[in-house]
Structure 1
Amino acid sequence: MELPVYNMAGEQVSTFELPATIFEANINRDLMHQALVRQLANKRLGTHKAKTRSEVNRTTAKVYRQKGTGRARHGSRKAPIFVGGGVVHGPLPRKYTKQMPRKMRRAALCSALSVKAEQGDIVLLDQISMDAPKTKHIAGMMKSLTNGESVLLLLADRNEIVEKSARNLTDVKTLRANYLNIRDLLGYSKIVMPLAALDVVSGFLEQEAGDEWVDAEDATVEA
């Protein structure tokens, strides 16, 4: 698939052939859903906690006498039936972590990138460079490239000037290419990436001969 390459002014300067193994992969929507659910689940802390009747701090004195009142028998204000008592079957701390093989995670990324490429939602830049942080500059560039749609801007490596420039834009998120993930891919309308960032993405997603995946550290690449 061949896409035009633009400069920061929004003018086409050349074209580029996208790697077919990444941007023309088989689209597996079930796999993308599984990867997204895994990422959202792994983000949960699971620190929710409700106190049972043995944990609430209330008086241990008997509520009222056992007989003669015509009311039900009760021995403690800690019972769940009373306001301020313990909670029955309430939430307890737990882990929501889900496991997914790296090969499946990266296949889900290829599916998502293929969907974006098929829909024309990938925009290539020849390069992105700024002398000083300027939000107005980034906002104007995104408007000319994407017509004001929400944008995921991929960077080849750390670029504090560009990151600071886009920080206050609600519809623009900067992300280093080696942290590419399924949630951000599906959460933004357009993907803007300089050619240098595309090289980083291709470096850990392209397949080697014999259908083996290129090795990369999971600590660096959260896919």
Structure 2
Amino acid sequence: MVNCTVRNWQGEQIAEATLELKVAKEENASHIVHRALVRQTTNQRQGTVSTKTRSEVRGGGRKPWRQKGTGRARAGSIRSPLWRGGGVIFGPKPRDFNIDMNRKERRLALRTALVSRSEDLIVVEDFAPNLSQPKTKELVAALGRWGIAKEAKVLMILAEKDENIYRSARNVPTIKMIRADGLNIFEILNADKILTTQAALAKIQEVYSA
């Protein structure tokens, strides 16, 4: 169980919140989190890179010169891999890089990764009413009041997408905003700080509890 302090818009502590998620055993935690991370990053590969072999390159049907008597090396085609413009030896071909992982394992790894970042988890009350219109400067100032350094990479987790918050955060390259029901393990591990609202924390508890 993770105990968190809830802060308001001014950065003052106003309440306590808890997050109770089932995580992997200590001896298996790093392994299952690593597997899930490798799966996510590997499955993002398109696998569409392709090169042509000597049989696929256009031309080269006629023997360039006779076999003997010219003093030059034997050549059967101008599309040999040894020639400029020839085919590629053992070049890449389209392939599927997808790695399978059970849904229960993926969710267990996600919960384990999230709980492991409890020291970097910052919970705030819903601050959408404080941004009646998009204001990047006000949002950045609020991050400072919540104890987040200006250069820190922040993962902002919201229960629902709010247009004013989105438009306030999109110009800040260090902020990544996602919904509570769309967490992924790479963003959790890549962020320096994880910022979430009380509503988003409750949504995480509802969606990802075992």
Same fold (TM over 0.5): yes
Q: CA RMSD in A?
A: 1.5
Deviations 1:137-171 (A, max 9, x none): 22112222212221000010121211111111111
User: 1 CA distance for matches of 2:77 and 2:188?
Assistant: 54
Is this contact kept in 2: 1:178–1:200, CA < 8 A? yes
User: 2 CA distance for matches of 1:41 and 1:25?
Assistant: 22
* Runs (4+) off by over 4 Å: none
Larger relative CO (CA 8 A, sep 6+): 1 or 2? 2
1:147 counterpart = 2:149: yes
Partner of 1:216: none
Structure 1 residue 98: Cα displacement: 1.2
Q: With structure 2 as the length reference, what TM-score do the two structures score?
A: 0.91
Counterpart code for 2:170: R
Partner of 2:114: 113
Counterpart code for 1:128: F
Is this contact kept in 1: 2:24–2:109, CA < 8 A? no
Is the deviation greater in 36-45 or in 65-74? 65-74
User: Aligned with 1:112: secondary structure?
Assistant: helix
Partner of 1:100: 101
User: 1 CA distance for matches of 2:87 and 2:54?
Assistant: 4
CA pair 2-25 structure 1, distance change in 2 beyond 3 A = farther
Partner of 2:56: 55
Is this contact kept in 2: 1:26–1:111, CA < 8 A? no
Partner of 1:211: none
Is this contact kept in 2: 1:121–1:189, CA < 8 A? yes
Structure 1 residue 25: Cα displacement: 5.7
Is the deviation greater in 175-184 or in 136-145? 136-145
Structure 1 residue ranges without an equivalent (≥5): 208-223
Structure 2 residue ranges without an equivalent (≥5): none
Aligned pairs, number:
203
Counterpart code for 1:122: L
Q: With structure 1 as the length reference, what TM-score do the two structures score?
A: 0.86
Identity among equivalent pairs (%)? 39
Structure 1 residue 197: Cα displacement: 0.5
CA pair 25-14 structure 1, distance change in 2 beyond 3 A = farther
Deviations 1:86-113 (A, max 9, x none): 0111111111111111110111111111
